[in-house]
Structure 1
Amino acid sequence: MEQFIASDFNVFKIDGLDGRMEALQDRIWPKLQTLGTHFSQELSAKTGDEMFAHVAKHARRTVNPPKDTWVAFAANKRGYKMMPHFQIGLWETHLFIWFAVIYEAPNKTEFGKTLEQNAQKVKDMIPDEFVWSLDHTKPEVIPHEGLSIEELKSMFKRLQSVKKAEILCGIQIPREEAVKLSGDDLVKKISDAFDHLIPLYKLG
């Protein structure tokens, strides 16, 4: 497995849609495809659902270049946005490993209810160093450490009641740390993160 290097993160400094897309296709997609092949098999074995890898193609973009990119894993060959799914990807500043339920998912409300009912269990099973996001298009996160049960429940209620609400849980690896990880170290780190996130997936 290839490691990520500084120039991979610097792709997001390239101005213009065409230039950035070309760099993403040349430099980043092959690495995401390799991770996709490896982790679709691992996640299939660990979740009991056949998982398919989907490298983000950013096909709808006509002007704004993407600020991040990823490979997603879902139990659906055709797409992942409608399903609870996993992601590995990068922004200019960090790598991310997520379990995600985004706004397109039709079972969002039921999943939000299940999370709310199991708030204490979720609090206990997610490690302190993990983070939450309420919007996959923004890099800002909420640390799990220090979140009260009430704060968790309020995020889970929002998932049920707000049409555009999303919830993501996982880890961010700052680029300075990410570039020091060998390919094998990276695979181990991602694998460990998924091990902590699979129980969330199974709740859904």
Structure 2
Amino acid sequence: MPKTKWTNNDFNVFQIDGLDQRMDALISSVRPKFQLLGEDFSSFFSSHLGEEFYPHVAKHARRTVNPPNDSWVAFAPYKRGYKSLPHFQIGLWSTHLFIVLAIIYEAPQKNVMAERLIANKALLQLLPNDFIVSGDHMSPTAISMQAAKEDKLDELLIRLRDVKKGEFLVGRHIPREQAIQLSASELHQITEETFSSLLPIYNIIVGK
């Protein structure tokens, strides 16, 4: 039975001033929910993708001055880390919940991954119109798949291939006003539906 529900207080954590104060609130209220989601969805990915996936809850350990503006749990088939691999994420900014598949700049073979996506762009274009794409995991902004289907999608994929800092994220953003209205079971359902739609994209990225 799903247990995780987001509240206004969870989103408000990212408006607390000060690194220590924000981290205290993040650790006490938000991180336990990411841990529960990590347990739920690592088994989902393991069963659907045929290899063991591990949850990685963001620790923000390198921060010494600036408090984090977002936080997440990531999923990848490697126990010691996820940033060098294509990975799935569930996370929060103060403005929205995100449920995405991401390739970020640390991935050493992202040019190969980009070529696979370019060759199968039609599959991306079949994703629901309310999905989003982004080229920067550090930014809360994104563009709808409906608006990106032509030039912007090409632009993001070419940048992923050719630019060292190029990134690619695809999935859903759910505004906080909508996210806080979702029951635990509704949240689980929409998250699972989103990830299910992204599984074929992941398989293309990794060359399955």
TM tier, shorter chain? over 0.9
Match of 1:160 in 2: 161
The residue type paired with residue 158 of structure 2 is K
| Preserved CA contact (<8 Å) 2:10 2:29 | yes
What is the aligned counterpart of 1:27 among 17, 26, 29? 29
TM-score norm. by structure 2 comes to: 0.95
Equivalent positions of 1:114-129 (< 5 A) are 114-124=116-126, 126-129=127-130
Task: Compute the displacement of 1:150 (Å).
Answer: 4.1
Q: Unmatched 5+ residue regions in structure 2?
A: none
| Preserved CA contact (<8 Å) 2:14 2:69 | yes
The residue type paired with residue 179 of structure 1 is I
Task: Compute the displacement of 1:3 (Å).
Answer: 0.7
Q: Residues of 2 paired with 1:148 and 1:180: CA distance?
A: 30
Q: Residues of 2 paired with 1:133 and 1:47: CA distance?
A: 24
Where does structure 1 differ by over 4 angstroms across 4 or more consecutive aligned residues? Answer: none
Match of 1:185 in 2: 186
CA separation of 1:5/1:148 partners in 2, compared to 1, >3 Å: closer, same or farther? closer
CA deviations over 1:58-97 (Å, ceiling 9, x no partner): 0110000000000000010000000000000001111000
| Preserved CA contact (<8 Å) 2:110 2:160 | yes
The residue type paired with residue 200 of structure 1 is I
Match of 1:94 in 2: 96
Task: Compute the displacement of 1:123 (Å).
Answer: 1.0
Q: Residues of 2 paired with 1:79 and 1:147: CA distance?
A: 30
| Preserved CA contact (<8 Å) 2:133 2:148 | no
Task: Compute the displacement of 1:154 (Å).
Answer: 2.3
Identical pairs, percent:
48
| 68-77 vs 138-147, greater mean Cα deviation | 138-147
TM-score norm. by structure 1 comes to: 0.97
Task: Compute the displacement of 1:24 (Å).
Answer: 0.4
| Preserved CA contact (<8 Å) 1:4 1:179 | yes
Q: Unmatched 5+ residue regions in structure 1?
A: none
CA separation of 1:147/1:62 partners in 2, compared to 1, >3 Å: closer, same or farther? same
CA deviations over 1:4-29 (Å, ceiling 9, x no partner): 11111111111000000010000001
CA deviations over 1:103-145 (Å, ceiling 9, x no partner): 0011100001111111123212x11110001000101101100
| Preserved CA contact (<8 Å) 1:103 1:166 | yes
| Preserved CA contact (<8 Å) 1:68 1:92 | yes
2:46 is aligned with 1:41: no
Q: Residues of 1 paired with 2:77 and 2:166: CA distance?
A: 22
Q: Residues of 1 paired with 2:14 and 2:147: CA distance?
A: 32
The residue type paired with residue 183 of structure 1 is A
Q: Residue 170 of structure 1 aligns to a residue in which SS?
A: strand
| Preserved CA contact (<8 Å) 2:134 2:156 | no
| Preserved CA contact (<8 Å) 1:128 1:143 | yes
Q: Residues of 1 paired with 2:60 and 2:43: CA distance?
A: 24
Match of 2:85 in 1: 83
Q: Residues of 2 paired with 1:149 and 1:93: CA distance?
A: 27
The residue type paired with residue 22 of structure 2 is R
Match of 1:139 in 2: 140
Q: Residue 57 of structure 1 aligns to a residue in which SS?
A: coil
Aligned-pair Cα RMSD in Å = 1.0
